[in-house]
Structure 1
Amino acid sequence: MIMKWTRTIALLAITGTIAGCSSASEQDIQAVSGVNDAETIYKQKCVSCHAIDLQGRAGPNLQKVGAKYTQDELFGVISEGKGGMPSFEKRLSEEQIDALAVWLASKK
């Protein structure tokens, strides 16, 4: 009987450990996935004006845009447009715009 309880407790401990590790890994994957999504969206929608390396063409250089604008400001610019930049509010989902804003805000 003691053996059975010992095995049950050990199994629960192992399951808890695996669940904890699994959860952390999923968060890491989601964080990396967000960056990959933002880069993919950028390549599909932004490269023609801002270049693959963010140096700018028709649109401004974005290599250090996060030093100039906050994530919220970038979200607004992408959503509503600004100057010569068109609004992407109807072309991208709110989640896509947010992913781009987070990614661009990290460019300092």
Structure 2
Amino acid sequence: MKKGITALFLGMIFVLGACGNADDTNTSENLEAGEEVYRNNCAACHGADLSGNGAPELTDIGSKYSQEQIEDIVQEGIGSMPPQTQVEGADLEELASWLSEQ
């Protein structure tokens, strides 16, 4: 009896594991490059959903600033936000491009 229950349990684990969603949009492989940079560098202060989380919200940042202006803000800081020196090069361009579309 115990062998049957164990086999059933292991079979269920196998079947349920095979039903996993490989297209999960929350994995970093499926994020746009700029969104991934945002999540890794900006989301802690500005919120994963751009809602602010204690810092200014960025939900409509693209209607306020151009991509170039966003790059300048990230590099130089603005208000109480210090310069984000760890974001540079292609990451900075991808981040600013993604944010300018928000």
Q: TM-score with structure 2 length normalisation?
A: 0.66
Q: What CA distance in whole angstroms lies between the structure 2 residues aligned with 1:72 and 1:49?
A: 21
State the aligned residue count: 73
Map of 1:65 onto structure 2: 61
SS in 1 for 2:32: helix
SS in 1 for 2:63: helix
Read off the aligned partner of 1:36 and give its amino acid letter. Answer: E
Read off the aligned partner of 2:48 and give its amino acid letter. Answer: I
Q: Does 1:105 align with 2:100?
A: yes
SS in 2 for 1:104: helix
Deviation at 1:58, TM superposition (A): 2.3
Q: TM-score with structure 1 length normalisation?
A: 0.62
Superimposed CA distance per residue, residues 7-41 of structure 1 (whole angstroms, 9 cap, x where no aligned partner): xxxxxxxxxxxxxxxxxxxxxxxxxx9x7211111
Superimposed CA distance per residue, residues 43-74 of structure 1 (whole angstroms, 9 cap, x where no aligned partner): 11111111010000221111110001111110
Q: Structure 1: where are the runs of 5+ without partners?
A: 1-32
Point out 4+ residue stretches in structure 1 off by more than 6 angstroms. Answer: none
Q: Which has the higher helix share?
A: 1
Q: What CA distance in whole angstroms lies between the structure 1 residues aligned with 2:65 and 2:90?
A: 19
Read off the aligned partner of 1:57 and give its amino acid letter. Answer: N
Give the root-mean-square deviation of aligned CA atoms. Answer: 1.5
Read off the aligned partner of 2:89 and give its amino acid letter. Answer: E
Q: Structure 2: where are the runs of 5+ without partners?
A: 1-28
Q: Does 1:91 align with 2:74?
A: no
Map of 1:42 onto structure 2: 38
Read off the aligned partner of 2:44 and give its amino acid letter. Answer: S
